[in-house]
Amino acid sequence: MGKPSIFSKDYQRKMRKRRFKVVIIILIIIIALGTIFYSEYIPNFIEETKKQYKVNKEKQDIEEQQQIEEETKMKEETLKVDEKEDEESTEELYYEVRVTNDSIVKLIYEEQNQEKRYKFLDVNGQKVSFDINPSGKNMIIYEEDTQNLFIYDIDGKYVDGTLKGFTSSSSNKTFNKNEVLNQDPTYIWCGTPKFYNDNKIAYISQLPWFGKEEKYIWTLDLNDLSHKNTNISGQKLTINGIKDKGLEIDVDGTLNYITIDDNIIK
């Protein structure tokens, strides 16, 4: 492609045409080279990209699976710990004790922060009742048939709080509990004992009289195991339990209260 003479009248037009052809040729060369280059590079690039994606995907899947397994393991371990704590917290703690007829009952207690408190008595079908003092540290076990009264401390040790005999001040005669009950099984020597403070118990008795229907409220002091007649009396007595005013006692339809400090109020 020769260069036109500058004296030619078509010089400018021919030069423009010449430059255009040069540009076209250069573009054709660039496109050709690019086609050759990219025809090899692009498939390789695509293939490498696919491989890398697959590797990354497999790595991600493995990491996700490991994370799932770790989370599952942590949940299982947490569940086991929770179950163990639940088992420990719900484990029944008790003392087995033998009552007068040689049967077994269970004194159920709980322990929190190394401190024990009585909860209730599993009577195991026996004719016994119980009561727990306000602090939860002592429990009464009362045998309905024998009218025996036992007080257990929080370590399962007991004292016999039963009044074994009563001495009449008028006759100076002593009456034995078992002999009285053998002669009259309906006689109330000691009935429905209830705590009215941590160390004192109130109960119903027909003492000091025999052959009368009138009943009295007696108390038992655990400090010296002494029994005392309060002179609260009536034909029908019911000990309802501790209320805001004190131990509530229904005396022939009238409510009386023994306060925590031994006062009697209405």
Between CA 202 and CA 247 the distance in angstroms is 8
pLDDT 10s digits, 179-225:
999 999 999 999 999 999 999 999 999 999 998 999 999 999 999 99
Q: Which residue in this structure is represented by tokens 């009577």?
A: 123
CB 260 within 8 A of CB 246: yes
Question: Is residue 90 exposed (0-12), middle (13-18) or buried (19+ Cβ within 10 Å)?
Answer: exposed
Say if residues 121 and 143 touch (Cβ distance below 8 Å): no
3-class DSSP assignment, residue 235 = coil
Q: For position 76, what pLDDT does the model report?
A: 73
Question: Residues in the chain with pLDDT < 50?
Answer: none
**43: cis peptide before it, omega within 30°?**
no
Cβ–Cβ under 8 Å, residues 175 and 168: yes
**Neighbour tally for 194: CB within 10 Å:** 22
Distance of CA 95 to the CA centre of its chain: 21
Q: Where are the domains positioned within the chain? A: 1-91, 93-265
Residue 67: what pLDDT? 78
pLDDT of residue 63: 76
pLDDT of residue 165: 96
Q: What are the φ/ψ torsions at residue 170 (nearest 5 degrees)?
A: -80, -40
Vertex 96 angle, CA 94 and 97, to 5°: 135
- Inter-residue contact 151 to 138 (CB < 8 Å): yes
Contacts of 181 (CB under 8 A, 6+ apart): 146, 147, 187, 189
